[in-house]
Amino acid sequence: MTSTSATSGTARWTRPWPRLPVLRVIARSVLGAAATVLAASFLIYAALSLTPGDPVDQIVGQRATPEQRAAARAQLGLDEPLPVRYVHWVTDAVQGDLGRSITYRQDVTGLVEPRIATTLTLVALAAVIIVVFGIALGAFGGMSDRWRPVVSAFVGVGLSVPAFVSATVLIGVFAVKLGWFPTFGAGDGFVDRLHHLLLPAIALSLGWTAYVAQMTTAAVREQAGKDHVTTAVGRGLGRGLVFRRHILRNAALPVMTASGLTVAGLVAGSVIVETAFSVDGIGSLLMKSVTNKDYPVVMAISMLIVVIFVVVTTLLDLAQTVLDPRTRTTGGRK
Amino acid sequence: MTTLALPAGRAARIGRSVRRADPVLLAAATVCSLLVLLAVLGPLLAPYPPSQTDLLAASQGPSAEHLLGTDSLGRDILSRLMNGARLSFMGPGLIVVLSLTLGTGLGIVAAWRGGIVDSALSKVFNVVFALPGILVAIVAGAVFGGGFWAPVLALSLVYTPYVARVVRSAAVTERRMAYVEACELADMPAWRICTHHILRNLLPIVLAQATISFGSALMDFGAASFLGVGIQPPQAEWGLMVSEGQADLLDGAMAQTLSAGLMILISVVAFNTLGERLGSRAGGRR
């Protein structure tokens, strides 16, 4: 369920432009991405304002007088209709003000900032694992008949293990039984942090590694069956050279798209892994804020996740357009 | 290739029967049926009531009375596993039914009407594609405070565009078929062509999509419960059991987490395999 609009963005146009200048393509994707983020933010904002509980109760308590309640209401800006509040939120958010946390009585930006580094470290670590192992496994699976069943078994299982299951099993085996890794926390300093985050990163990367391996196997096998590869082998080029020059280069585009999509999805997935390992990143902050009904924080982190997702998928879309000129033309020559 | 010597009709028939006897498909279908049976009958067959606590027998290992041991409240893990099958399957099942109904409808409408309707729908879908499923489930949990319906409705909403996209692209091909034109010339109303002909021809694809969606719905629904925005204690559900077992994990008791995790894994593998095989058969028929 991950193949989002990476390709549809460029293939959708039906107008018979012979060639679409790159600048126009970029402008269109950026506008489309901005519209998507705006629409998504309105959806989440409206959903959160539907909530049955009254946020005013949390600030002034149940026994406040109607006047106190009205004052708190006006202070929060809740006396205005939803669209007005939403526009306020957006204009503030664009200027870097994400509102105030109700539970922490602190600016959301100040809460999120120190934690986002932890989350991004976790995501980066997982991304490295995914790209290295996913592509390596996929290349093995695509090139060697002996490895293919092993790789496809790994793919089948890897795609079917939810992150929360792999996380808890890894904690049970490697942190508790064997004691090789700490069971929770994010650690201080570079080496300690790596030590703390390696297990969460493995849990986070398992399913996506399988996905990238699957895509790489398919792309390598497709290229390996093409004429130019047969010609290269016939010319007597070595296996390694044929693989590097002819197969890997042509297989790179789908593999890059698949890897990029995984990185986009990792931030949302890290919510689960951070909760399982009690890593103090934005994911576990999100879950704590959901429990505390701290909606400004929920809103801010949700939007952060959506923005990262949209930015990465848009960049992928653009990278594809720049790297592969064929995707720029539609009706014209191919 | 000995089949070349056979008459074309016979070769095709043999090819079909070989496909029909696909052992992997059979195995996956058997496991899936057993799992569904477990979801239906599990609560009746379980040796203990799922919420019966016995603090004297808390955190025990496997024994004759408790085949998988007990959790920290002394509840029988096997019984909770068998009872949990019902909620663990009912949630994803409902997600699949809702998203499939809505997605198939929207997909066919987009393909049939084309033009503005099609591009408007695809714009709406693009917004939903930007929302990761688990995030929507979390927001729904924040608004409605967890439970059964919040993750079910949230995930149905997220899954709908994926179904709609698959159905739309298949329906666009179907729309161009000669039989559709024939029906139109025969003055058949559009909704009737859609339901009686196009939908019926798309059924294999829809079915394959349903099975694959069930696998990911199972994972996402379990994740919602694990995060505390889905099924709430003391109910039994596999994702929740993984989370409850995490506390015992630190004492080295892995039975609950492992068994619930394994049930999820087996279910997802079985349904994914079934969906993949059904999908390639549906694709092969065209």
Residue A27 falls inside a structural domain: no
Top mean pLDDT of A202-216, A309-323, B45-59, B241-255 is at A202-216
Q: Which of A174-178, A191-195, A320-324, B269-273 has the lowest mean pLDDT?
A: A320-324
| Confidence (pLDDT) at A1 | 41
Nearest chain B residue (CA) to A55: B143
Nearest chain A residue (CA) to B251: A176
Confidence of residue A79 (pLDDT cuts 50, 70, 90): confident
Cα separation, B276 vs B267, in Å, equals 14
Cα separation, A252 vs A258, in Å, equals 10
Nearest-Cα distance to chain B for A33, in Å, is: 9
Strand-pairing partners, residue A100, are A107
| Confidence (pLDDT) at B42 | 84
Determine, for residues A36 and B130 on separate chains, whether the beta-carbon distance falls below 8 Å. yes
Residue A176 falls inside a structural domain: yes
Helix (H, G, I), strand (E, B) or coil at B256: helix
Helix (H, G, I), strand (E, B) or coil at B262: helix
| Confidence (pLDDT) at A128 | 93
Confidence of residue A333 (pLDDT cuts 50, 70, 90): very low
Residue B77 has pLDDT above 60, yes or no: yes
Interface with A, mutate which of B88, B99, B128, B135 (most A CBs under 10 A): B135
Q: What is the DSSP string of B70-96?
A: B-TT--BHHHHHHHHHHHHHHHHHHHH
By Cβ distance, the residue of B129, B222, B249 closest to A162 is B222
| Of the candidates B85, B60, B82, the residue with the CA atom closest to the CA atom of residue B73 | B60
| Confidence (pLDDT) at A58 | 66
Interface with B, mutate which of A29, A38, A164 (most B CBs under 10 A): A164
| Biggest distance spanned by C-alpha atoms of chain B | 77
- This complex has an ipTM of 0.83
Residue pair A252/A175 in contact by the 8 Å Cβ criterion: no
Cα separation, B231 vs B137, in Å, equals 12
Confidence of residue A186 (pLDDT cuts 50, 70, 90): low
Structure token pair of residue A279: 């890593």
**Residue A278's domain is classified under what CATH number?**
1.10.3720.10
On the question of a cis peptide bond just before residue B62, with omega within 30 degrees of 0, the verdict is: no
Determine, for residues B132 and A276 on separate chains, whether the beta-carbon distance falls below 8 Å. no
pLDDT higher for B242 or A53?
A: B242
| Confidence (pLDDT) at A4 | 42
Residue pair B42/B85 in contact by the 8 Å Cβ criterion: yes
| Of the candidates A197, A65, A191, the residue with the CA atom closest to the CA atom of residue A125 | A197
pLDDT higher for A163 or B66?
A: A163
| Confidence (pLDDT) at B196 | 83
Q: Residues with Cβ < 8 Å from A259, sequence gap 6 or more?
A: A127, A130, A131, A134, A135, A212
Residue with tokens 């084309």: B114
Determine, for residues B142 and A298 on separate chains, whether the beta-carbon distance falls below 8 Å. yes
Q: Per-residue pLDDT tens for B177-191?
A: 888 888 888 888 888
Q: Residues with Cβ < 8 Å from B8, sequence gap 6 or more?
A: none
Cα separation, B236 vs B242, in Å, equals 11
* Dihedral of the alpha carbons of A77, A80, A84, A85, in degrees to the nearest 10: 30
Residue A319 falls inside a structural domain: no
Determine, for residues B222 and A164 on separate chains, whether the beta-carbon distance falls below 8 Å. yes
Instruction: Give the pLDDT mean for B11-23.
Output: 60
Q: Which of A144-148, A151-155, B25-29 has the lowest mean pLDDT?
A: A144-148
| Confidence (pLDDT) at B245 | 85
Q: What is the mean pLDDT of chain B?
A: 85
Nearest chain A residue (CA) to B218: A162
Helix (H, G, I), strand (E, B) or coil at A100: strand
| Of the candidates B269, B221, B255, the residue with the CA atom closest to the CA atom of residue A168 | B255
Cα separation, B248 vs A15, in Å, equals 61
Determine, for residues A156 and B258 on separate chains, whether the beta-carbon distance falls below 8 Å. no
Residue B18 has pLDDT above 60, yes or no: no
By Cβ distance, the residue of B127, B216, B246 closest to A168 is B246
Determine, for residues B142 and A293 on separate chains, whether the beta-carbon distance falls below 8 Å. yes
Residue pair B223/B239 in contact by the 8 Å Cβ criterion: yes
| Confidence (pLDDT) at A7 | 44
Residue A10 falls inside a structural domain: no
| Confidence (pLDDT) at B21 | 67
Alpha helices in B114-198 (DSSP H): 115-129, 133-144, 149-175, 178-185, 190-192
Cα separation, A37 vs A50, in Å, equals 20
Residue A242 falls inside a structural domain: yes
| Of the candidates B16, B22, B18, B11, the residue with the CA atom closest to the CA atom of residue B278 | B22
Instruction: Give the pLDDT mean for A316-332.
Output: 66
| pTM summary value | 0.85
| Of the candidates A153, A263, A151, the residue with the CA atom closest to the CA atom of residue A205 | A263
Contacts of A171 in chain B (CB under 8 A): 246, 249
Residue A18 has pLDDT above 80, yes or no: no
Q: Residues with Cβ < 8 Å from B237, sequence gap 6 or more?
A: B84, B87, B88, B91, B222, B225, B230, B231
How many independent structural domains does chain A possess?
1
Residue A257 falls inside a structural domain: yes
| Confidence (pLDDT) at A24 | 81
Residue A70 falls inside a structural domain: no
Instruction: Give the pLDDT mean for A159-177.
Output: 88
Instruction: Give the pLDDT mean for B126-143.
Output: 90
Cα separation, A195 vs A187, in Å, equals 8
Determine, for residues A271 and B252 on separate chains, whether the beta-carbon distance falls below 8 Å. no
Determine, for residues B272 and A47 on separate chains, whether the beta-carbon distance falls below 8 Å. no
Cα separation, B244 vs B61, in Å, equals 16
Instruction: Give the pLDDT mean for A175-180.
Output: 80
Q: How many CB atoms lie within 10 A of CB A18?
A: 9
Contacts of B226 in chain A (CB under 8 A): 164, 272, 275-276
Range of the domain at A241: 108-291
| Confidence (pLDDT) at B255 | 85
Cα separation, B91 vs A25, in Å, equals 42
| Of the candidates A244, A173, A251, A168, the residue with the CA atom closest to the CA atom of residue A212 | A251
Q: Which of A64-68, A97-101, A123-127, B75-79 has the lowest mean pLDDT?
A: A64-68
Structure token pair of residue B135: 């995030």
Q: What is the DSSP string of A133-199?
A: HHHHHHHHHHH-TTTHHHHHHHHHHHTTS-HHHHHHHHIIIIIIIS--S-SS---SSHHHHHHHHHH
Nearest chain B residue (CA) to A300: B139
Residue A329 has pLDDT above 90, yes or no: no
Residue A205 has pLDDT above 70, yes or no: yes
Residue B272 one-letter amino acid: N
CB pairs under 8 A between A and B: 143
Confidence of residue B220 (pLDDT cuts 50, 70, 90): very high
| Confidence (pLDDT) at A331 | 37
Residue A334 falls inside a structural domain: no
By Cβ distance, the residue of A165, A177, A272 closest to B264 is A165
